[in-house]
Amino acid sequence: SRISVVHCFHFRGGAELLFDGVKKHQVTLPCQPEPWDIRNLLKWIKQNLLKERPELFMQGESVRPGILVLINEADWELMGELDYKLQDQDNVLFISTLHGG
């Protein structure tokens, strides 16, 4: 069985407001037979971390336009986006580039 892995998620640029203002989350994801990818991770975040207004963070199964996702400081577009398989100790950073209300 796979060991659960610890990940660090950061929310910035206003995205943290959807998570009770908490900018940094240390998370141990539950074990599952398949490696975690970003698609499953977003689903998990929506169910477990997101406190309010999920439509401001998610659109369909991805993040909404205007939210930048960095995996270990690299743009997730270079990493395969939703299909990127999380590695142990990965840092995932979500930055909202949308301002105003």
CA–CA separation, 91 vs 59, rounded Å?
22
CA–CA separation, 43 vs 75, rounded Å?
20
Q: How many CB atoms lie within 10 A of CB 62?
A: 14
Q: How many CB atoms lie within 10 A of CB 85?
A: 13
Domains of the chain: 5-96 (3.10.20.30)
pLDDT at 6 over 80: no
Interval 28-55 mean pLDDT? 89
Give the pLDDT band (50/70/90) at residue 85: very high
Give the pLDDT band (50/70/90) at residue 32: confident
Whole-structure pTM value: 0.86
Longest dimension (CA), the chain: 46
Interval 71-93 mean pLDDT? 93
Q: How confident is the model at residue 5, as a pLDDT?
A: 64
